[in-house]
């Protein structure tokens, strides 16, 4: 076993995993640069060198992926896992993988912005410590944990894990001087401590893994002098995350596929069982390839998949395994039911089938796809088909069946289908395909079943002998993924050894010979007719193909843009989260990064709203509000919102307002949405130092209604005449490749639709190189807007009111509760609809004043809970205001909420002002 202490030291000094990508742009700047030197310590799973000199591991996976973007080449320098930090910081090497962030080393090691994902931390205990069973965290209470004093981040994550699981432990920190042979294992062996903090790579089986949890993230690092390499790492890692946000998780699973297999051992109770039982007997059919083949040798074992797993049970537990060979699968089932054997070698069915047969299944040790073979004159699937299958097998519920007849062999079943005595045969694909190629079944056609497979398990009589079932499951679960796969593949019978000649085929189909000549003549005629018709259809097909291709390109472009637009802010969220973790002691940095997170989340929400609004418009579901608002206040808010974007691009944003009647009636939200979209486009397509101008001018008034002109002009690149004809088409984008990469192409079409719904028409005037102007006119009735109230300082807005909050998300519930309590409300939280109904039913009459109800929850959703509350036999159940909260913003959801008896409907993420307006109106505040 690799010493736990040496791994901790290697990780603390920087033995890292991956993400190095200094971009093709950087490679172009220095085309003659030599290969980057990679310090390559030998750490299991992370960085390993095979006997042939090839390199592999999680670090290599990242380096190879980075090289696709940067064109970098590498020179791997292999060292032992206990190298000194000075070996790297001396400047002799360019890259090091598997490195944890250590604040004290930040001046000597350059960390990129993105990590290569978290490592796995493990709490190890002694196998002979009976107080720790390895599956119940309650066993850890009161225990003492030894940790390295240098592993500060791992200790912090350990403390977080203990707090999350409500575990009370004593953590003892040991300095490097207290290590023996680079390890703290002697403390665990002597009983001075109960647990030792290590890593997943330490899980060799010498100690029991009592708990496994996410450790600190690891990095691919360089030195501060290598700024171009650091820039390249950041550039390539960002592109890798954008292309596949799960890359780190997949790379870890690929290099640590069996991180938990060494947590299985026979315990004291099971050893007593083995000593008393000594041997077990397993029933197997004599010839059921590839699971069991033969059964007539002296030791009774000829071959097959199942024997490798029976050998594993013997080696793991010490039990002797004897086999009882019977003529068929159904006979093996009978031997188990009659008590002749302790276990069935394999069961062909799922858990429901096993329960109906009175059997208990072990863990799965292999999986085979299912197959049906049909008579070629029969359509599959269809009704009233006649099925044939092997005796004892169960046809899965996802396979449509009619009458089923059971036979003893695959050949008998295939003969019945070939001769028309049955329509379809069902079985494992390896068996049906092998049997078909051993015989002549010219009327049988195989049909693949997508997603249909059978898990192969051992079976015991129900209720199962608990010690035997546990031993069997431990034996199987302690095998690595590769070992299981090898056991299946080396025993799989290769199909194709049967030979089918033309004479065999014709002799099996005598009617075919008589009709062959007639078919030939008809075929010639059909070809002639087909050629003529194909020429007629060719033109239509080309037109249809072009239309389908155009639609496909439009969809592909939309999905590509949406992927880019979503991944860009998501990359910021992921990256800034890691940076926040490192900068938790810097308040100013925290404030700036939190602002960036909010900007990214606001952009994601606006993007989603654009897509939803486009769908509403296309389906005729978009409604325009008619509410009083202040036009000048609306424009001022818009200017504040867009000023930061203009300042970032060094754009002079000018706003001109000439309005005589400020109070109007209309949809202020949709008006602001149109103008912000137009301003955003103008800023995006205007070079630095340019001007963007918003004009809002009252152009007419008839005593009741006023006409207003809205114009957005810029000094940007302009739009060509041909592009002006298509910019209002969905997904259309114009301009340079760089500008096209921003946005989805939905903004202008949506603006045009909204302006038309409000009674106007969006116009464009532009010339290439001279800027653009988008304008429209709207007519509004006069109105008096209500003065806005600053709720942020009204701490008694809901004083005296008791609100029942129903929300299954603990984070959302905590946020909503804090906001309401800050404004005087008392809040009771229910985690699902059932708990909400129970709390309301048990409350005093009138105790709750309102209910905030999430729509989608486990156990009972919001619609069901609302109906249940409304039906309670008490007067306040019919009168209490119930407000729906949901992330589904479509009309159908609002309709379902109101039909169930809800009073109002608000969408997530919650707009606090909207929530306050709704509650204030319902509570008469």
| pTM of this structure | 0.43
Burial class (CB in 10 A: 0-12, 13-18, 19+), 712: buried
Bridge partners (DSSP) of residue 519 are: none
Helical residues (DSSP H) of 440-509, grouped into ranges: 466-477, 481-489, 502-508
Q: Which two tokens stand for residue 260?
A: 């938990």
More confident: 114 or 492: 114
- Whether residue 499 is predicted with pLDDT greater than 50 in this model: the reply is no
Three-state DSSP at 915 gives helix
Note whether 908 and 857 are within 8 A (CB): no
pLDDT of 545 reads 65
pLDDT of 572 reads 52
- Whether residue 20 is predicted with pLDDT greater than 50 in this model: the reply is no
> Mind listing the pLDDT tens digit for each residue in 761-778?
999 998 888 899 999 999
Contacts of 140 (CB under 8 A, 6+ apart): 123, 132, 162, 167, 169, 195, 210, 211
116-120, 278-282, 726-730, 897-901: range with lowest mean pLDDT: 726-730
> Mind listing the pLDDT tens digit for each residue in 332-384?
999 999 999 999 999 988 888 888 889 999 999 988 888 888 888 888 878 78
Report the alpha-carbon distance of residue 554 to residue 746 in Å, rounded: 12
More confident: 892 or 670: 670
CA gyration radius, the chain: 36
Report the alpha-carbon distance of residue 762 to residue 757 in Å, rounded: 11
Q: Is the peptide bond before 3 cis (omega within 30 degrees of 0)?
A: no
Average pLDDT over residues 518-529: 77
> Mind listing the pLDDT tens digit for each residue in 218-241?
899 999 999 999 999 999 999 999
Average pLDDT, the chain: 80
Report the alpha-carbon distance of residue 335 to residue 316 in Å, rounded: 26
């Amino acid at each position: 076993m690799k010493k736990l202490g040496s791994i901790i030291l290697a990780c603390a000094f920087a033995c890292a995993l991956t993400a190095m990508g200094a971009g093709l742009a950087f490679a172009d700047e220095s085309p003659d640069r030599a290969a980057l030197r990679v310090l390559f310590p030998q750490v299991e799973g992370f960085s390993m060198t095979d006997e042939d000199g090839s390199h592999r591991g999680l670090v290599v996976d990242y380096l190879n992926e980075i090289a696709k973007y940067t064109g970098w080449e590498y020179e791997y320098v292999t060292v032992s896992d206990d190298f000194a930090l000075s070996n790297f910081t001396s400047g002799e090497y360019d890259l090091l993988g598997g490195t944890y962030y250590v604040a004290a080393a930040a001046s000597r090691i350059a960390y990129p912005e993105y990590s290569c994902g978290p490592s796995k931390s493990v709490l190890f205990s002694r196998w002979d410590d009976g107080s720790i069973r390895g599956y119940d965290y309650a066993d850890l209470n009161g225990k003492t944990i030894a940790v390295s004093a240098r592993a500060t981040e791992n200790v912090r994550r350990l403390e977080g894990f203990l707090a999350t699981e409500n575990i009370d432990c004593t953590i003892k920190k040991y300095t490097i001087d207290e290590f023996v042979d680079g390890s703290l294992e002697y403390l665990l062996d002597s009983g001075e401590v109960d647990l030792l903090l290590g890593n997943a790579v330490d899980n060799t089986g010498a100690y029991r893994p009592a708990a496994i949890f996410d450790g600190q993230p690891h990095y691919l690092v360089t030195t501060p002098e290598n700024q171009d390499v650091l820039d390249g790492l950041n550039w390539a890692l960002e592109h890798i995350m954008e292309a596949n946000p799960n890359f780190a998780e997949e790379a870890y699973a690929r290099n640590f596929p069996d991180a938990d297999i060494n947590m299985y051992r026979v315990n004291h109770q099971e050893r007593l069982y083995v000593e008393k039982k000594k041997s077990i007997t397993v029933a197997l059919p004599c010839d059921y390839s590839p699971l069991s083949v033969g059964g007539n040798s002296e030791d009774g074992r000829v071959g097959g998949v199942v024997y490798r797993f029976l050998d594993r049970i013997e080696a793991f537990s010490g039990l002797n395994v004897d086999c009882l060979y019977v003529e068929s699968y159904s006979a093996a089932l009978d031997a188990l039911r009659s008590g002749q054997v302790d276990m069935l070698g394999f069961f062909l069915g799922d858990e429901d089938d096993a329960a109906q047969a009175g059997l208990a299944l072990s863990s799965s040790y292999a999986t085979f796809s299912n197959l049906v073979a049909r008579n070629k004159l029969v359509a599959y699937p269809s009704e009233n088909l006649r099925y044939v299958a092997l005796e004892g097998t169960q046809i899965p519920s996802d396979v449509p069946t009619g009458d089923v007849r059971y036979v003893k062999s695959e050949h008998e079943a295939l003969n019945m289908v070939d001769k028309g005595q049955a329509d379809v045969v069902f079985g494992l694909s390896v068996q049906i395909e092998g049997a078909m190629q051993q015989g002549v079944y010219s009327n049988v056609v195989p049909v693949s079943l997508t997603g249909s497979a059978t898990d192969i398990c051992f079976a015991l009589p129900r209720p199962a002998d608990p010690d035997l079932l546990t031993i069997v499951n431990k034996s199987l679960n302690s095998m690595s993924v590769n070992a299981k796969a090898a056991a299946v593949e080396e025993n799989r019978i290769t199909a194709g050894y049967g030979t089918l000649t033309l004479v065999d085929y014709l002799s099996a189909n005598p009617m075919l010979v008589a009709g062959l000549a007639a078919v030939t003549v008809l075929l010639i005629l059909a070809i002639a007719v087909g050629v003529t018709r194909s020429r007629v259809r060719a033109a239509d097909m080309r037109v249809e193909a072009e239309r389908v291709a155009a639609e496909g390109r439009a969809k592909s472009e939309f999905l590509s843009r949406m992927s880019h637009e979503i991944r860009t802010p998501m990359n910021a969220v992921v990256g800034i989260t890691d940076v926040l973790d490192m900068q938790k002691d810097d308040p100013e940095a925290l404030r700036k990064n939190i602002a960036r997170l909010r900007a990214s989340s606001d952009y994601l929400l606006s993007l989603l709203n654009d897509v939803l609004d486009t769908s509403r418009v296309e389906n005729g579901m978009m409604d325009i509000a008619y509410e009083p608002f202040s036009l000048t206040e609306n424009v001022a808010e818009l200017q504040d919102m867009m000023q930061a974007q203009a300042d970032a691009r060094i754009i002079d944003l000018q706003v001109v307002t000439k309005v005589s009647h400020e109070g109007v009636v209309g949809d202020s939200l949709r008006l602001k949405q149109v103008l912000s979209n137009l301003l955003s486009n103008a800023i995006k397509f205007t070079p630095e130092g340019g001007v963007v101008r918003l004009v809002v001018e009252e152009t007419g008034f008839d005593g009741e209604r006023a006409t207003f002109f809205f114009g957005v002009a810029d000094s940007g690149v302009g739009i060509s005449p041909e592009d002006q004809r298509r910019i209002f088409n969905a997904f259309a984008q114009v301009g340079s490749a760089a500008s096209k990469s921003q946005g989805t192409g939905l903004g202008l079409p949506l603006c045009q639709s909204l302006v038309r719904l409000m009674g106007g028409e969006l116009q464009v005037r532009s010339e290439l190189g001279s800027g653009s102007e988008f304008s429209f006119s709207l007519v509004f009735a006069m109105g008096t807007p209500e003065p806005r109230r600053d709720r942020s300082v009204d701490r008694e807005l809901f004083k005296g009111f008791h609100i029942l909050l129903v929300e299954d998300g603990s984070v959302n519930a905590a946020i909503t509760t804090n906001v309401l309590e800050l404004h005087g409300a008392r809040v009771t939280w229910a985690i699902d609809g059932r708990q909400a109904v129970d709390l309301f039913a048990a409350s005093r009459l009138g105790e709750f004043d309102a209910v905030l109800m999430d729509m989608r929850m486990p156990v009972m959703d919001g619609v069901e809970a609302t109906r249940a509350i409304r039906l309670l036999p008490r007067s306040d159940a019919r009168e209490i205001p119930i407000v729906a909260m949901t992330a589904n913003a479509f009309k159908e959801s609002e309709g379902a909420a109101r039909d169930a008896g809800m009073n109002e409907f608000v969408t997530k993420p919650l707009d606090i002002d909207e929530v306050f307006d709704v509650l204030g109106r319902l509570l008469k505040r």
